[in-house]
Amino acid sequence: MLTSLRDYDKIRENAAGNVTRFQNLDIVSAPGGETLGICHLAVMMPFSRVMPDGSRAPFPHGYQAAFAASMAAHHLNTGNGTIVPEVEGLNERCDIRFTVELIDSEFFQSPAVRAILNVLNRVPGEGRLPTAFIGNTRSPVSMATSVITGLAGYPQISPYSVTNELNDKSQHPLFGRLIPDSDGHALPIVQFFRNVLGVKHLAVVHNNDGYGDAYARAVLKTAQEYTPDLEVEFIDLPVKATPDDYVKAVTFLRSTKFRFFFAPILGDNFAPLMEEAFRQNIAGDGLHNWMFSASIERATKPQYDKGTPLHLATRGISVINVLGGKKGKSTRSKYDESWEEMNNDEDMEYIVSKLPQYENYDSSVFVSNFFKMKGSVADTLSYDSAILLGLAACAAAEDKKQSDADGPPNLDGISHYQKALDVQFQGVTGEVVLEPSTGSRDPVSAYFELINYYFEADDKNSSVVQLNKRQSYVFENGTWDQVAPWSFNDETSTIPSDLPEVSVNMNYIGSTLRGIGLALACIILILSIGFSVWAQCRSKSRVVRASQPIFLHIICVGIFILGASIIPLSFDDEISSDEVCSIACMSVPWLICIGFATTFSAFLAKTWRTNKIFHNPTMRRIRVTPFDVMKPLFLSLAGMSSLEGVLLRE
């Protein structure tokens, strides 16, 4: 399949000594006599990693990116629009061809920077200088390398470095990425917790490095902007955490009382964090649920000892990841078909020849194994990255050609990068749209997935359980769609509460106290009526006449009203509707105030009459009329009514 790459490699090699380096292109003459610009794509990915003991371990993402970028370059050279329609016939309208070089960044900043400096120190026209770089994976590596590539005038497109710091154009002027930045990742995360699960309380534990800090800040910023009712709490965790660091972080998480956690942490932190969370009862108890960033995927094991903390804590966790193409889409199906076409000895041999070689490390051993891991985010994003650079190179060169029709293909780094920001196409990973101000992928144009981890019903006689994964939700066009069942830590699909259940004591009166209160109310009402009737019947007797019957009747009426207030006090929502309770509640203060004012006015009038008699200097007979008695009553009622109205309004 990769015949065009081999052909243009030979053309470039045979033209040694006759190569003109013009801007960012090597200008050569093809066998047919036409002038071609060679766009050399340097794929800078981690193909190996130096371990603490000095040995090298392979890194699958680098191998996948190598195959994908090579396939994309071949499609650009041949104008094959099977996957991306915009590539169809590109070889006929563009006089630029593409070659590929594989550079091992070895997973860390120092070797990546050394590798780039070695490439850029090549002699123009003799050594193969790049036109653009594809890479890297880790954000810290991309931050270090993009400063150099930007200053040297070369665009660098990363398949999946996410930190927001790479948006700073003063430091990374020609950097772009086919993956959304931290803010773009936070949008689907926040929407899932708030809009899908209905969560209002979320705790985030993150590494205190550029990756984790950027993720945490992005979640907070996005929550404040899109879901202001989502309360978010944070705690950081050192990358090289000690046992005390895990205890401190989990203690804080437990103190929040939250039951949903998001953890953008490195894989090395996964097991110690979850074991400590289990010890402190915020993992593996069926109540608490955890989501992680994609960085922990390789930290999980295919099986666990049954009943261990890691088995119980891992049950029901989820991982959010950018999706490397959505199943069922024609672009993804065609991509898989094209990928399988590379499964031949010639193409495998070609990729091995491009891979960096080390002593006691044979890249060819791993190529066939990693080739089978197609459709991951590593290869599909790398494919789209190469297609983006290819379309942008041809578009920028076409603009230059219009002003200089007779000149050779012309492409400088700034024009190349600006065109990459403008180019849009339907790629394997969705519609590729970069934000012009940052060079980052528009999150709405990307696919995200949520992988749910679960354990099948196990054999009771077995001491181990098998870990299974399934894609449960897919984020497309700004919304989440469920595509498979979702299992929480309690192994059910029922969304648990995000806070502990609150035990509320409604302080109901209860039937016993209600019965006693109503019985006392009846006694008060009956006695009030009875004493009033008795006073009326004995109104001619000396004692009643001396006490004045009108005072006695007023006192009985006031006590009757006060006693009647016990009746609405006996109502609550244990036995009545909200409407009835509201009416009863509003009547209580009026009954108490009116009853008290009525009773108080009778005693006040009687005291006033006695005072007037004893302070009569003439010692003449004084008559107190019923109207005189009513004056204090009216004044008391008016005063109490005004006060009650003010209090109720407050």
Q: Among all chains, which residue has been given the structure tokens 């983006």? A: 388
Confidence check: pLDDT of 195 > 70? yes
Both structure tokens of 513: 């106290």
Q: What is the pLDDT of residue 618?
A: 62
* Closest of 202, 259, 267 to residue 235, by C-alpha: 202
What pLDDT, on the 0 to 100 scale, is given for residue 519? 92
Lookup: tokens for 319 = 């991982």
Residue 358 has what DSSP assignment? B
Q: Are 155 and 132 in contact (CB under 8 A)?
A: yes
Residue ranges of E strands in 84-219? 96-104, 132-134, 156-158, 175-177, 201-207
Quickly state the pLDDT bin for 632 (edges 50, 70, 90): low
Region 183-323+447-482: CATH code? 3.40.50.2300
The pLDDT value recorded for residue 600 is 79
pLDDT at 620: 62
Segment 45-96, tens digit of pLDDT? 998 888 888 888 888 888 899 999 999 999 999 999 999 999 999 999 898 9
**First-last CA distance in the chain:** 82
- Evaluate the CA torsion angle 146, 149, 154, 159 in order and state its sign: negative
pLDDT at residue 12 is higher than 70: yes
| Higher-scoring residue by pLDDT: 632, 64 | 64
- Indicate the CATH number for domain 3-178+324-440: 3.40.50.2300
pLDDT band at 270 (very low <50, low <70, confident <90, very high): very high
User: Parallel, antiparallel, or unpaired for β 479-482 and 464-476?
Assistant: antiparallel
* Average of per-residue pLDDT across 540-563: 84
In this predicted structure, the answer to whether residue 630 has a pLDDT above a threshold of 80 is no
Residue 301: pLDDT over 70: yes
Amino acid at 356: P
Task: Give pLDDT, residue 504.
Answer: 75
Residues with Cβ within 8 Å of 443's Cβ and at least 6 positions away in sequence, in order, are 180, 183, 184, 185, 187, 188
Domains 3-178+324-440 and 183-323+447-482 share a fold: yes
pLDDT at residue number 472: 93
pLDDT on residue 403: 61
At residue 370, the pLDDT reads 82
- More reliable by pLDDT, 545 or 643: 545
pLDDT at 84: 93
Q: Please enumerate in sequence order all residues whose Cβ is within 8 A of that of 120, keeping only pairs 6 or more positions apart, or say none.
A: 129, 148, 152
pLDDT of residue 148: 95
Q: Are strands 201-207 and 260-263 parallel, antiparallel or unpaired?
A: parallel
Tell me which residue of 650, 537, 553 sits closest to 605, measured CA to CA: 553
* 310-315: average pLDDT: 93
Mean pLDDT, residues 343-348: 89
pLDDT of residue 406: 61
pLDDT category of residue 648 using cuts at 50, 70 and 90: low
pLDDT in tens, 130-152: 999 998 888 889 999 999 999 99
Cα gap 214→4, rounded to integer Å: 41
- pLDDT of 471 > 60? The answer is yes
The secondary structure of residue 363, as a DSSP letter, is T
Residue range 625-631: mean pLDDT, rounded: 64
Q: In one letter, which amino acid is 511?
A: S
Of 31-35, 287-291, 423-427, 590-594, least confident by mean pLDDT is: 31-35
**Strand partners of residue 469:** 453
C-alpha–C-alpha distance, residues 387 and 75, integer Å? 8
Across 521-534, average pLDDT: 91
Residue 435 scores a pLDDT above 90: yes
Band of the pLDDT at 575, cuts 50, 70, 90? confident
Q: Region 364-370: what's the mean pLDDT?
A: 81
Helices 345-354 and 364-371: crossing angle, nearest 10°? 120
Query: What is the band of 30 on the pLDDT scale with cuts at 50, 70, 90?
Result: confident
pLDDT for residue 14 is more than 90: no
Q: What is the DSSP string of 427-475?
A: ETTEEE-B-TTT-PBPGGGS-EEEEEEEEPPPPTT-SEEEEEEEEEEEE
Mean pLDDT score across all residues of the chain: 87
Is the pLDDT at 619 greater than 60? The verdict is: no
The pLDDT of residue 626 is 61
Domain ranges of the chain: 3-178+324-440, 183-323+447-482, 510-649
Q: How far is CA 277 from the centre of its chain?
A: 21
CB atoms within 10 A of CB 302: 8
- pLDDT at residue 629 in the model: 61
Q: Which residues contact 372 (CB under 8 A, 6 or more apart)?
A: none
- Mean pLDDT calculated for residue range 247-265: 94
Please tell me what DSSP assigns to residue 101.
E
At residue 273 the predicted structure's pLDDT band, cuts being 50, 70 and 90, is very high
Q: What percent of the chain has pLDDT over 70?
A: 92
Please give the model's pTM, rounded to 2 decimal places: 0.70
| Segment among 36-45, 215-224, 570-579, 636-645 with least mean pLDDT | 636-645
Q: What is the DSSP string of 303-319?
A: EEETT-HHHHHHTT-EE
Rounded to a whole number of angstroms, the CA Rg of the chain reads: 41
- Residue that is written with structure tokens 């780094």 in the block: 413
Secondary structure of residue 7 in the 3-state scheme: helix
- pLDDT-based confidence at 281, cuts 50/70/90? very high
DSSP3 helix / strand / coil % (the chain, rounded to 5): 50, 15, 35
Is the Cα torsion angle 42, 122, 119, 9 positive or negative in sign?
positive
Residue 198: the pLDDT is 92
Q: Is 534 helix (H, G, I), strand (E, B) or coil?
A: helix
374 pLDDT more than 80: no
